[in-house]
Amino acid sequence: MPTADPAPPGEPRREQLLNAADRVVQRDGPGASMNAIAAEAGITKPILYRHFGDRNGLIGALTERHTSGLLAAVRAALDEPLERRDRVEHVLDVYLAAIESRPQVYRLLTHPEPGDPTGAGNALAPALKRIADEIGEAVRAQIDLGSDGPLLADAWGRAITGMVLAAGDWWLEQQPCSRARMVRSLADLLWGRLATAAPLPQAAVPPGVQSPDAVQPNRAPGYGT
């Protein structure tokens, strides 16, 4: 039987409850109920409401947890001192690894349930906008695209993010190939002008960095790491 909340409200207990919610979402999918989450946490539903207000509040807390982890992972990948092709593949791999590691959480954040009044299903949109901004800024800071550079950087940041979102959604649903092959396929599509543009002086790759063929995509952190 669920018990009274043994811990005072605070971050440790909140994290325990979010961990329980993650497990239930991974098991039951985006429609996971507050009853199931409370049972998983070993508490009564009123205690869950006390911590999060309502289901919308819980979804908001899960959204913040997972999108902040994804943003941090993408930002770190963009800053890796890799050859340009390796960096492209690494960023792609970070995103695909994140959605692969927690597919039901990804669906919760991107696919609304019919009639769901909580706002879940569009929760990833602000994080994707920030990712697009970060990619655009990285392109602007590292690659010489001439007088059209600022425009191209902003456009490419949004185009790359949209492409990877759509392709990743399809790949996660259909599983047509390995993640490594999907990374290479998307990188091949992106490679055009990115391959031929000169680096800006401050974006030169440090000596001793491995060649593009020597570095393989790494297993990347999931949403919540």
Average pLDDT in the chain: 82
Verdict on whether the full-model pTM lies above 0.85: no
- Spell out the domain ranges in the chain: 1-53, 68-225
Angle subtended at Cα 196 by Cα 194 and Cα 199, rounded to the nearest 5 degrees: 75
Give domain 68-225's CATH number out of 1.20.1250, 2.30.29, 3.40.190, 1.10.357. 1.10.357
Alpha-carbon distance values, 146 to 31, 56, 134, 173 (Å): 49, 46, 20, 39
Q: What size, in residues, is the chain?
A: 225
What would the pLDDT profile of 145-179 be if each residue is shown by its tens digit?
A: 899 999 999 999 999 999 999 999 999 999 999 99
Domain 1-53 CATH class label: mainly alpha
- CB-facing half-sphere around the CA of 174: CA atoms within 13 A: 9
Instruction: Quote the tokens at residue 83.
Output: 């050859």
DSSP state letters, 160-201: HHHHHHHHHHHHHHH--S-HHHHHHHHHHHHHHHHHHSEEPG
**What is the structure's pLDDT at 118?**
53
What would the pLDDT profile of 96-134 be if each residue is shown by its tens digit?
A: 999 999 898 888 888 766 655 555 556 778 888 999 999
What is the DSSP-derived secondary structure letter of residue 85?
A: H
pLDDT of residue 83 exceeding 60, the answer is: yes
Please, are residues 121 and 127 in contact by the beta-carbon 8 Å criterion? no
